[in-house]
Structure 1
Amino acid sequence: MDIHQFDAIRPFEPEELPEVFDRLLQNEQFCQVLAYLYPGVPVEMIGQKMHQCRTNLEFQKAFCYDFLHNLLAKASLGIDFDCQNIDLKRRYTFVSNHRDIVLDSALLHKLLFDAGCDTTTEIAIGDNLLKLPWVKDIVRINKSFIVERSLSMRQMLVSSKRLSDYMHFVINEKHDNVWIAQREGRAKDSNDRTQEAILKMMTMGGEGSVKQRLLSLHIVPLAISYEFDPCDFLKAQEFQLRRDVEGWKKGPMDDVISMQTGIMGFKGHIHYHCAPCIDEWLEQLPDDMPKADFYKAVAEHIDHDIWRGYRLYPSNYVALDLLEGTNAHADRYTDEDRQRFEAYLQGQMAKIQLPNPDAGFLRERMLTMYANPVRNQLSVL
Structure 2
Amino acid sequence: MRSWPARMRGMAFSWMGVGSLKPMSSSALKNCLLSFSASKPMRPKVLPNVSCGMPKAEVNHTGFEDMAPLKGEEAAKALVSLRDGTDWVLQLGKVLSQEQAQGLLAAWNHVDDVEGFQLNVVKPFLEALADKTTSGFTWSGELSSLKSGLLFLTNHKDIVLDPSFLNVVLLGQGLPATEIGIGSNLLASPWVNALVRLNRCFVVERSGSARDRYQHSLRTAAYIRHITAQGQPVWLAHREGRAKDGVDATAPALIRTLSDNGHLETWDALRVSPVSLSYEWDPCDGMKVRELLMRERDGDYTKAEGEDQRSMLLGMVGDKGRVHFHFNNAVMWEDPTEGSRPEQHMAAKVDEVLMTGMRFWPNQRLCGEWIGLDPEVLAPAPEPTQADREAWKTRLSSITGQLEAEGWSEEQVSRKWCEITSAPLTHRHALLHK
Same fold (TM over 0.5): yes
Does the aligned pair in 1 maintain the 2:170–2:177 contact within 8 Å?
Answer: yes
Does the aligned pair in 1 maintain the 2:146–2:327 contact within 8 Å?
Answer: no
Distance 2:143 2:356 in 1: 13
Distance 1:155 1:56 in 2: 31
Which residue in 2 is equivalent to 1:338?
389
Which of 293, 304, 314 aligns to 2:352? It is: 304
- 1:50 corresponds to 2:108: yes
Letter paired with 2:297: D
Q: Secondary structure at the match of 1:270?
A: strand
Which residue in 2 is equivalent to 1:357?
408
Q: Secondary structure at the match of 2:326?
A: strand
- 1:249 corresponds to 2:302: yes
**1:225 Cα deviation after fit:** 0.4
Letter paired with 2:428: Q
> Against the structure 1 CA distance between its residues 120 and 324, is the aligned structure 2 distance closer, same or farther, given a 3 Å change threshold?
same
Which residue in 1 is equivalent to 2:215?
158
Which of 231, 250, 259 aligns to 1:203? It is: 259
Distance 2:62 2:241 in 1: 28
Instruction: Give the length in aligned residue pairs.
Output: 371
Which of 167, 170, 193 aligns to 2:227? It is: 170
Letter paired with 1:161: L
**1:256 Cα deviation after fit:** 1.7
**Aligned positions of 1:88-99 closer than 5 A:** 88-99=146-157
Distance 1:240 1:26 in 2: 44
Which residue in 1 is equivalent to 2:136?
78
Instruction: Write out per-residue CA displacement over residues 61-108 of structure 1, whole angstroms, 9 at most, x where no aligned residue.
Output: 111111111122221111111121744333421111111121111111
Which of 269, 290, 294 aligns to 1:237? It is: 290
> Against the structure 1 CA distance between its residues 145 and 325, is the aligned structure 2 distance closer, same or farther, given a 3 Å change threshold?
closer
Which residue in 2 is equivalent to 1:120?
177
Which residue in 1 is equivalent to 2:125?
67
Structure-2-length-normalised TM-score: 0.77
Letter paired with 1:15: E
Does the aligned pair in 2 maintain the 1:99–1:190 contact within 8 Å?
Answer: no
Structure with the larger helix share: 1
Letter paired with 2:412: F
Distance 1:33 1:102 in 2: 21
Which residue in 1 is equivalent to 2:423?
372
**1:245 Cα deviation after fit:** 4.1
Q: Secondary structure at the match of 2:158?
A: coil
Does the aligned pair in 1 maintain the 2:152–2:272 contact within 8 Å?
Answer: yes
- Which is further off, 126-135 or 44-53? 44-53
Which residue in 2 is equivalent to 1:136?
193
Letter paired with 1:120: A
Letter paired with 1:159: H
**1:244 Cα deviation after fit:** 3.3
**1:365 Cα deviation after fit:** 1.7
Q: Secondary structure at the match of 1:72?
A: helix
Does the aligned pair in 2 maintain the 1:97–1:222 contact within 8 Å?
Answer: yes
Which residue in 2 is equivalent to 1:15?
73
Distance 1:271 1:211 in 2: 31
Does the aligned pair in 1 maintain the 2:365–2:382 contact within 8 Å?
Answer: yes
- 1:228 corresponds to 2:281: yes
Distance 2:103 2:361 in 1: 43
Does the aligned pair in 1 maintain the 2:182–2:201 contact within 8 Å?
Answer: yes
> Against the structure 1 CA distance between its residues 352 and 258, is the aligned structure 2 distance closer, same or farther, given a 3 Å change threshold?
farther
Which of 136, 146, 154 aligns to 2:203? It is: 146
Does the aligned pair in 2 maintain the 1:93–1:217 contact within 8 Å?
Answer: yes
Does the aligned pair in 1 maintain the 2:76–2:113 contact within 8 Å?
Answer: no
Structure-1-length-normalised TM-score: 0.87
Does the aligned pair in 1 maintain the 2:154–2:277 contact within 8 Å?
Answer: yes
Distance 1:335 1:46 in 2: 40
Distance 2:385 2:101 in 1: 51
Distance 2:183 2:94 in 1: 26
Instruction: Write out per-residue CA displacement over residues 337-359 of structure 1, whole angstroms, 9 at most, x where no aligned residue.
Output: 33431222112333448632243
Distance 1:309 1:250 in 2: 33
Distance 2:74 2:200 in 1: 13
Which residue in 2 is equivalent to 1:106?
164
- Which is further off, 90-99 or 303-312? 90-99
